[in-house]
Chains A and B, each alone.
Chain A
C-alpha cells in the first residue's frame, strides 16, 4: 500500500508574534510541522505498520522547510519529496493544490492524506481542491481511519454525528488531530532520517503556467485582534462567590 502525506511547515502559533506596519514578525523564527499533518503522518504509519506498505511525504515550500520534512522522516516516513519554492512567495491554497496535483499526475498511490487545515491559516481548502483536480473520492475531517480490503474506511466528524464513509482506493482523506497522538521521533528515528531518500524538485522545473501560479486571493495586512476588556475576578468563600456572580449575571448582564 502506498501512502502519500502532504505536509506543510507552519510558524509556531505558540511563539510570541508582533505586527509591524501590517507585517507579521515572530520573535522566534520557529517553524513546525503542521499539527494536523503530523496526525496524518502518524495514521499513515500506523496503517502501513499493520497492513504493509510505504509512506512518502510531500512538501511544497522554501529550503528552510527541509527541517520539517526531516521531522516526518524521523517519525518513520520512508521517503520524501521536497518541491522547493522561493522564500517569499504569496501563494494561496489553490496554487499549492495545483502544484501538488501536477506532482501527483504521474504517480501511483492508494491513499493521499492531508491535514484538515493548516494550523496558521485554518484555510482547510487544499485537500478537497487536490482531490477534485485528481478526480479522487475523498472525505474531510477524519477522526479515525481503517483499512478494509480495497477500501479506506473513514470516520468523519460531521456537523452533528460521526459519518462512517467507505472510500474505494485510490482516494484522498484530510485528517483531524482528534485522530491520534503523533509519536515523538526517537533518537534512532532522527539518526535514520538523515539517510532516508529525499528527492528535491524545483517548482520552476515543473512547467506550471503563469495562471496556475498566480493566486486569486491575497493577504493585504495583519492586525492585532482587539482584546476583550479585562473583567472582574473573585476570590473567597465559594458560597459567597457563587451568589455574587449568579446575581451579577442576572441583574447586570441579563443572561440568566
Chain B
C-alpha cells in the first residue's frame, strides 16, 4: 500500500477548490488500487480546515501551522513541503495548479529528486508511476506523458475533476515546524490589488469575460452590469489586461488563468488560441461579437452576431426578467 498525498492550498482563509478536486480524484484512485489517500494543509490556521478536508476521503491529514504561511512565500512553503514528503513518503503527491503551486513545483522536484508533471488535465496510476494527459501547443493538442519513480509530483488544472464527497474519520498529524524569518532571502514587501471577497475566477460558476471590443467606459459599464445581474465573476482577454483597462489577475488563457464555469459569456473577444486555451472547458459558451467570422464562434454554443453596445442592453433586461 502506498500513499497518495494531496496538498490542500489555502488562500485568504479558504481552501482552493482545485485542491479538493485533486483530493477527490486521489481518494477514488486510492480506493480502486488499495492505496491510502492522505492530505497536507500548510497554513497559518491549518487546523481550522481539517473538517472540510475530511469530507473528501483523506484517511490521514498532516497539518503544518505557522504564521509565516499567512501569505504565499516560496522559501517557507518549500521547506514545509520537503518536510512532509520526508514524513509521508508519498508515491504520488498531487497539487491543484494554482499560481502558488506553479511557483514551487519545479523547485520541490529539484529539491527531492522527484519526477514531476505539471498542469495535467487527467492522471492515472501505473505500477511504477503515473500516466497523464496534458494540453500542449496552446491547448490545441493533448500529449500523453508518463513519469516513473518513488515520489512523483503532479499538478492538475482546475476543473479537471469533480468534487466527490466520501467522509472519513481522519487521523490528524501535526508536523512540528519552525521558520526563522532571517532565513528569508526573498522578502515579500506588499501585496497590491488582492481580490478580497471577489469570486475566484477558477472557481466561478458564471463568468462574463470582456475583450478589446468592450474597451471603452460604456463597454466596461455594460459588462459590469451583465456580471452583476448574473452574479458572475469578471474575466478579461489579454487585450484589456495589457492595456491596463482590467485587472491583470482577471486574464483568462495561456498566460492567465484556466477556468471551467457552467456559463462563459465572451463579449468582444475574437477567440485567439491563447485565450481559448483557458476557457474551452466551460460548459456553455456564449459569444457576442460583431464579426461573423470571429474564431470564438467556432467554439461557442450560442453565438450572437452583433454590436455589443446594441445587444447587451436588451440581453441584460431579459436576464433581469428571468431572474426576478
A159 to B251 CA separation, bound complex (whole angstroms): 11
Q: Does B139 contact A (CB under 8 A)?
A: yes
A216 to B231 CA separation, bound complex (whole angstroms): 45
Q: Does A191 contact B (CB under 8 A)?
A: no
1/0 contact string of B147-158 vs chain A (CB within 8 Å): 111000000000
The residue in chain B whose Cβ has the minimal distance to the Cβ of A143 is B248
Minimum CB–CB distance for A173 against chain B, Å: 10
B1 CB contacts on chain A under 8 angstroms? none
B307 CB contacts on chain A under 8 angstroms? 238
Report which of A126, A127, A231, A243 forms a contact with B303, defined as CB distance below 8 A.
Answer: A231
A223 CB contacts on chain B under 8 angstroms? 133, 141-144
1/0 contact string of A9-44 vs chain B (CB within 8 Å): 001011001010000100000000000000000000
A204 CB contacts on chain B under 8 angstroms? none
Report which of A14, A97, A162, A217 forms a contact with B191, defined as CB distance below 8 A.
Answer: A162
Q: How many residues of A contact B (CB 8 A)?
A: 80
1/0 contact string of A215-227 vs chain B (CB within 8 Å): 0111111111100
Report which of A124, A129, A141, A228 forms a contact with B110, defined as CB distance below 8 A.
Answer: A129
Minimum CB–CB distance for B211 against chain A, Å: 16
Q: How large is the interface on B (under 10, 10 to 19, 20 to 34, 35 or more residues)?
A: 35 or more
1/0 contact string of B192-224 vs chain A (CB within 8 Å): 111110001000001000000000000000000
Interface segment, one of A48-56, A66-74, A77-85, A131-139? A131-139
| Inter-chain CB contacts under 8 Å: number | 264
| Known interface pairs A13-B138, A123-B119, A178-B242; A233-B305 also in contact (CB < 8 Å) | yes
Minimum CB–CB distance for A129 against chain B, Å: 4
Q: Interface of A with B (CB < 8 Å)?
A: 11, 13-14, 17, 19, 24, 93-94, 97, 116, 119-133, 137-141, 143, 153, 157-168, 171, 176-178, 216-225, 228-235, 238-239, 241-243, 245-250, 253, 255-256
Could you write out 21 A-B pairs with CB less than 8 Å apart?
A17-B140, A93-B106, A120-B136, A123-B119, A124-B106, A129-B109, A132-B106, A138-B74, A140-B74, A158-B99, A160-B11, A165-B186, A166-B187, A171-B185, A229-B301, A234-B303, A235-B305, A242-B315, A249-B263, A249-B284, A255-B263
